[in-house]
Amino acid sequence: MNVNRAFKAAIALELITLATIVSGIIMLDSSQARAWRLFELLGANMASLITTFGVYKMRQMT
Amino acid sequence: MVLGFSGTIPIALIGILSIILLVYGAEVVVSKMQAVAKSFGVSEVVIAMTIVAVGTSLPELALHVIGSFNILASSGAPLELFTVHLPDILLGSHLNATQELVKQGAINASTAANSTEVYRETAGAVLGANIGSDVVQQTLVLGLVIFSSALLANKHSFRFSRKFLIRDYAPMMGTTLITLILALNLEGVISFLTGGPLNVSGTITRFDGMVLVGSFFLYMIYLYTTRKEELAEQGDTEPSKRPKIDFVHGILAMALVLVSAEIFLRVVEVAVEQTGLSGSMIGVASVGIVSAFPEMITAISGLRHGSEGVSLGTLIGSNITNPLFAIGTGALISTYAVPRPLVLWDLPMETATAGVMLLYMFSKERIGNTLARPARKAGLNAVAEKLEETENRVISIAGALLLVLLYVVYIYVRFNYFQYDFA
């Protein structure tokens, strides 16, 4: 697998995780979401998505 | 009491001395270790990616590591903190873990309360020092460097290379943004947006620490695979002639850095008790400012030798290492409670400054041309011509001074409106 494909796969995986976490937050009530620590996971997932996407874009631009 | 002294003036002097030794010691560690590595034939690329990259953030890194170990030690049962459930270790805070230990009977409630205080004060001081130093570098130091560079070259403006903006400046903005996201209490943000109270400062958990450190390594890999020639330029020190002696000097300087960090954190603890100032305020006003000076001196001396790219690269590089590696490592050890001013002012201000600057750099020409049209229609031909002449990626002396002014605004607002870490 070349590097670009690996990046695309990682971004897709992170997007799926993000969608799952967001759906969890919407569907569960707040105490359940807190118990599953979905808000902490949401922040970490968004941050790692920004990093992966950022590095992918920088590789394309340079 | 710090080192046997209890008076305000002696403690303040010890605090100032500890910061100077922290920053000076880090400089010695970097220069000695660079020379030793060079004498053993280590490549410039590896030196730049290890010693130089981490070394420029050594004062902040030392504060984070020592501070985090102090937080763990304050619980009285540092190892037991890692025996709670794995999701709590990874996604919970130090507070959750100490409360769990109280429930299990491993520590008593008063020890847990004391540990909470140490946790908040220390996290405030080290995060304040880290982010404070980044704001100083991105506004005051960058402004002064651009200003000096334009003056040295006898010009009225400074041109950034496209490469620099994409490879260094944009990641710096991204780094600030991800630190802000991780520092926010997202549940509190959602609640605030739906009419709840403003409770948006969260915890940087160990999992967040993994994301930060992981991002640092991903960025390093990106640098390694795409800019070898520039990394090579960064480590142009002479090889050591006495590697063993220099190595010992480097180790002693490292010990000095760690001891200074420990003394500084004790001074913060006393200062918070005696003055009522918040830990993050002390961090921003002391280490935040002093630790930015070596980067400024390095950057300006680099400009004198005509190496603008490397010079600014080192300056901005430490703004990437500081949050990613230093905060990440500290969070991996102990987790951090994030002070309110950090998420309400420091990080948003830092992200917005970098974002606006980046956007402006890449769309200056378009903005100039758009504004030139109405100016020409209004008969202001001279103004229109001036606007049409604007170029992308160029910042004038006035722009550089604006960055310095922004720093003054930052400090003014910080000191007047964000005095307390935890409400």
Chain A environment of B167 (Cβ under 8 Å): 58, 62
pLDDT of residue B307: 60
Whole-angstrom distance, CA of residue B127 vs CA of residue B129? 5
Using the Cβ of B185 and the Cβ atoms of chain A, whether some distance falls under 8 Å is answered with: yes
For residues B393 and B416, give the distance between their C-alpha atoms in angstroms, rounded to a whole number.
34
DSSP bridge pairs for B394: B159
Strands (E), B98-230: 157-159, 203-204
Helix, strand, coil share of chain B (percent; to 5): 80, 5, 20
Query: Whole-angstrom Cα distance, residue B204 to residue B143?
Result: 31
pLDDT at residue B66, as a whole number: 96
**Residue B358 in contact with residue B169, Cβ under 8 Å?**
yes
**Residues B404, B140: contact at Cβ < 8 Å?**
yes
* Element housing B261 (H / E): helix B243-275
Asked if A41 lies within 8 A of B219 by C-beta distance, the reply is no
Domain ranges, residue A14: 3-61
Contact B49, B223 (CB under 8 A): yes
Residue B2 falls in which region: left (phi positive, over 0), alpha (psi -120 to 50) or beta: beta
The gap between the terminal CA atoms of chain A, to the nearest Å, is 21
Test the A interface: residue of B182, B204, B229 with most A CBs within 10 Å: B182
Number of domain units in chain A: 1
Cβ(B220)–Cβ(B53) below 8 Å? yes
Answer for the pair A52, A14: CB distance below 8 angstroms, yes or no.
Answer: yes
- Residue A42 sits at the chain B interface (C-beta within 8 Å): yes
Give the pLDDT of residue B228: 56
**Burial zone of A17 (CB within 10 Å; 0-12 exposed, 13-18 middle, 19+ buried):** middle
Contact A54 B187 (CB under 8 A): no
Q: Which two tokens stand for residue B51?
A: 């010693």
Q: From B134, B218, B140, B221, select the one nearest B179 (Cα to Cα).
A: B134
Question: Quick one: fold of B8-417?
Answer: A middle domain of Talin 1 (1.20.1420)
The predicted pLDDT at position B195 comes to 92
Nearest to B174 among A42, A50, A59 (CB): A50
Question: CA B360 to CA B362: how far, in whole Å?
Answer: 5
Structural element, H or E, at residue B102: helix B94-104
Structure tokens at B318: 């430490």
Whether the CB-CB separation of B94 and B335 falls below 8 Å is answered with yes
- Long-range pairs for B402-405 at CB < 8 Å and ≥24 separation? B402/B143, B403/B138, B403/B139, B403/B140, B403/B142, B403/B143, B403/B146, B403/B353, B404/B139, B404/B140, B404/B143, B404/B144, B404/B147
Residues of B with Cβ-Cβ distance to A17 under 8 angstroms: none
Which residues 6+ apart lie within 8 Å of A56 measured at CB? A4, A7, A8, A11
Which residues 6+ apart lie within 8 Å of B398 measured at CB?
none
What residues contact B256, with CB distance under 8 A and at least 6 apart?
B21, B25, B28
pTM: 0.91
Token pair in block for residue B395? 């910042």
Half-sphere exposure of B288 (CA within 13 A, CB side): 28
Tens place of pLDDT per residue across chain B (423 aa)? 778 887 888 888 998 999 999 988 988 998 899 889 888 888 777 777 778 778 878 999 999 999 999 999 999 999 999 999 999 999 999 999 999 999 999 999 999 999 999 999 999 999 999 998 899 888 988 888 888 878 877 777 788 888 888 888 999 999 999 999 999 999 999 999 999 999 999 999 999 999 999 999 999 999 888 865 555 555 566 788 899 999 999 999 999 999 999 999 999 888 888 888 888 888 888 888 887 777 777 777 766 666 655 667 777 888 899 999 999 999 999 999 999 999 999 999 999 999 988 888 888 888 888 888 998 888 888 888 888 888 888 888 888 899 999 999 999 999 999 988 886
Optimal mutation site among A26, A28, A39, interface B, most CBs of chain B within 10 A: A39
A31 to chain B: closest CA residue: B187
pLDDT digits (tens, 9 = 90+) for A31-51: 999 999 999 999 999 999 999
> What is the pLDDT, as a whole number, of residue B229?
57
Task: Tell me if A41 and B186 make a contact (CB, 8 A cut-off).
Answer: no
**All structural domains of chain B with their residue ranges:** 8-417
What's the pLDDT at B57? 86
H or E element, residue B293: helix B293-304
CA–CA dist B395, B402 (Å, integer): 10
Residues contacting B339, CB < 8 A, separation 6+ = B120, B123, B124, B127, B128, B201, B278, B279, B280, B421, B422
A6 lies within 8 A of chain B by CB = no
pLDDT, position B272: 85
Cα–Cα distance between B29 and B403 in angstroms, integer? 31
Length of chain B counted residue by residue: 423
